[in-house]
Structure 1
Amino acid sequence: MSDKKVIRLRRARRTRLKLRDLEAVRLCVHRSSQHMYAQVISADGAKVLASASTLDSELRAGSTSNIEAAKKVGQLVAERAKAAGVTQVAFDRSGFKYHGRVKALADAAREGGLEF
């Protein structure tokens, strides 16, 4: 693994340990060069309550690696989380910087009704 990825995963591990202590439902985000993924994971980490990504059929049209696609994923994951009965989450950015696509997804999820 490259040093950059190791450092990101170390940051992610540190964040997840803090979130585990809080025992909060978390909104976990992953960003690749081509896609965005978001999952709402239960407090014990055993169950995925809701998920959305740019691989979903309704989000597949058009570009999947820009800020607009990230906003759509944020709105969709918020909608699915609310349908599952979740409104309060902790944001787990998986060690990625909070800007660009990650920030756009978070803002869209907040607008969609998730509180974090």
Structure 2
Amino acid sequence: MQLKKKSAFKLKSRAKKHIRIRKKVFGDTERPRLSVFRSASHIYAQIIDDSTGQTLVEASTMSKEINGSRGSREAAKQVGANLAELAKKKNISSVVFDRGGYLYHGRIQVLADAAREGGLQF
């Protein structure tokens, strides 16, 4: 029973952090928002224009372009590089980074670094 309480607490605290961050981070047409979601087995990233509510570009470990381990740092690096490549095709060069309540560490940091290496500025 103790394990359920701990995991529920982690989910609630991440949700609170995400809400607190979203109050401050807003993407528009000039600088859309790069949003990241991490699960136990996959990682998802999308570039969103909050003024229109549209997803402009998305990449995840579910796509066919990503090879190898799905939830690993290598997969996160491939997702970041793939997202930067797709953003270049849509003429998106600058974004606002939304870490989604997660710590800027591990797979989130690797994805962000790969997106920066691919040409995105944030």
What's the TM-score once normalised by structure 1's chain length?
Answer: 0.92
Gaps of 5+ in 2: 1-6
What CA deviation, in whole Å up to 9, does each residue of 1:35-57 have, x standing for no partner?
Answer: 01000001326000000000001
2:62 equivalent to 1:55: yes
Task: Tell me the amino acid that sits aligned with residue 32 of structure 1.
Answer: S
Residue number among 27, 43, 46 corresponding to 2:53 in the alignment: 46
2:105 — aligned with what? 99
Residue number among 33, 37, 40 corresponding to 2:44 in the alignment: 37
* Matched position secondary structure for 1:107: helix
Count how many residue pairs are aligned between Structure 1 and Structure 2: 114
Where in structure 2 are the equivalents of 1:54-73 lying within 5 Å?
Answer: 54-59=61-66, 61-73=67-79
Gaps of 5+ in 1: none
Determine the C-alpha separation between the residues in 1 that align with 2:14 and 2:84.
25
2:32 equivalent to 1:9: no
Alignment RMSD? 1.5
Regions of 4+ moved over 6 Å = none
Deviation at 1:66, TM superposition (A): 0.7
Task: Tell me the amino acid that sits aligned with residue 11 of structure 2.
Answer: K
What CA deviation, in whole Å up to 9, does each residue of 1:76-103 have, x standing for no partner?
Answer: 0111111111111011010011111000
Identity of aligned residues (%): 46
**Bigger radius of gyration among the two:** 2
Task: Tell me the amino acid that sits aligned with residue 87 of structure 1.
Answer: S
Deviation at 1:17, TM superposition (A): 1.1
Determine the C-alpha separation between the residues in 2 that align with 1:75 and 1:45.
25
Deviation at 1:16, TM superposition (A): 1.0
What's the TM-score once normalised by structure 2's chain length?
Answer: 0.88
